[in-house]
A and B are shown apart, each in its own frame.
Chain A
């Protein structure tokens, strides 16, 4: 059987697995954004915390993904076999680009603009939501975009710890030396990454001010 007939015959299953994969990515990204952006805000004026946060996030990125999944399994509460552990690992991977870009975006703002905002009698929360976050938004989104593309790829490894997703096809394909199975995992994963990159790229360009 040619790989193409395989893909066509299993399209329903491939589609369902792609949705499952996308769900892993979306859940992990949402949590990573909710953690990364506020943490990025927090470290702007705290050099010690900044060193620790960026350092730790950096270390997670350097751990080979399969090893990171493995390390998490024995950890109580967040570990074990399955989706939960996989999502935790994906969050740890996604954190660095989001954190770093939030920090850079906020520090790149012209100090004269912030001084004006303060001198005009804006409150700290008005400065945050009306000035700093809007001005940093293109940077932050660029970080989210990078993180999403990474996460789509890394999520294929999640199948190794029983989290499902497109990696399931790839691991089975490797084991059975089946091109059809490999492509059933690889093609949708590549398309997801390209689509995420493209769509988030459009939003990023809209947000850019100058």
Chain B
């Protein structure tokens, strides 16, 4: 596999702040220092508006910090060629953001196409990836995104992000819009897939259950600041009030069939 060797797989936030646009002094995230080691699955957990998504967008240069820097493979995002950086980082978002005018195969093969892979190689890779995410390439390759269910779209989104074999994967509540049954199914499959892929994964969610299923480490954000950073096994033992609040949400969901 021709992985873009340029982007390595470590991520480091060095005292990063991001100010809201529009000239205000309000900060979306403040004084974030965080290291994501190669091959780990780090889950950013927090309520809506806690700044989780902004941390993802800072990582692939969709946002530029107002203070501090983010190192991807020891190089600041501002020093990277933006395009080169992003081609080495897979990105999956809620509702997948698939291109509605492309077939599933074309969606999945987009980054390899942009990278100028030969056509045969792209076809082989697309077939391989659709199998990997549990979709029959014959049946689904020619379909348009609107002809898929939400869960299938999300599978395509994951396949598309993996297409050029990027060492880093950023996922922003990828399963958030799915029904509980499909969500549980995709979470289980993705947990297995993540172990198999050995990529550096940063996964954003507001669902502690999902975090506990997927994470090797959980970082809890509150109002743009890191309030907890612990290995998965240790997370629930923490005393911080926001951790307790999330833990309480877990027990209140206990009867939830999902």
Binding site for B on A (CB under 8 A): 110, 112-113, 115-123, 126, 131, 134-135, 209-210
Contact = CB atoms under 8 A, between A and B. Distances in A.
B97 A122 contact: no
A113 B97 contact: yes
Query: Which size bracket describes the interface of B in this complex?
Result: 20 to 34
B142 interface: no
B87 interface: yes
A39 to B, nearest CB: 23
Contacts of B89: 119
A203 B16 CA distance: 50
Contact of A117 (B82, B85, B99): B99
Contacts of B209: none
A5 B14 CA distance: 88
Nearest to A111: B97
Contact of B100 (A121, A123, A126, A135): A135
25 contacts: A110-B97, A112-B95, A112-B97, A113-B97, A113-B98, A113-B100, A116-B91, A116-B96, A116-B98, A118-B62, A119-B91, A120-B87, A120-B91, A121-B83, A121-B84, A121-B86, A121-B87, A121-B111, A121-B114, A122-B83, A135-B100, A209-B100, A209-B101, A210-B100, A210-B146
A113 B98 CA distance: 6
How would you classify the secondary structure of chain B's contact residues: helix, strand, loop or mixed? Answer: mixed
A135 B145 CA distance: 14
A110 B100 CA distance: 10
Interface string B33-67: 00000000000000000000000000010100000
Nearest to A117: B99
A210 B145 CA distance: 10
Interface of B: 60, 62, 82-87, 89, 91, 93-101, 110-111, 114, 144, 146, 160, 170
A112 B92 CA distance: 10
Nearest to A131: B99
8 tightest Cβ-Cβ pairs between the two chains A and B: A116-B97, A121-B86, A121-B87, A112-B97, A119-B91, A121-B83, A209-B101, A209-B100
A149 to B, nearest CB: 26
Given A110-B100, A120-B86, A121-B83, 12 more contacts: A113-B99, A115-B97, A116-B96, A116-B97, A116-B99, A117-B99, A119-B60, A119-B91, A120-B111, A121-B82, A121-B86, A134-B101
Nearest to A114: B97
Nearest to B94: A112
B193 to A, nearest CB: 20
B83 A123 contact: yes
A126 B96 CA distance: 20
A197 B96 CA distance: 37
Contacts of A126: 114
A131 B170 CA distance: 22
Contacts of B100: 110, 113, 135, 209-210
A113 to B, nearest CB: 5
B54 to A, nearest CB: 13
Contacts of B101: 134-135, 209
A131 to B, nearest CB: 6
B154 to A, nearest CB: 12
B67 to A, nearest CB: 23
B86 A112 contact: no
Given A112-B93, A115-B93, A122 B114 contact: yes
A115 B62 CA distance: 9
Contacts of B98: 113, 116
Contacts of A116: 91, 93, 96-99
A71 B166 CA distance: 62
Nearest to B163: A120
Contacts of B84: 121
Contact of A118 (B86, B99, B170): B86
B167 to A, nearest CB: 14
Q: Which of B84, B85, B110 has the most CB of A within 10 A?
A: B110
Contacts of B114: 120-122, 126
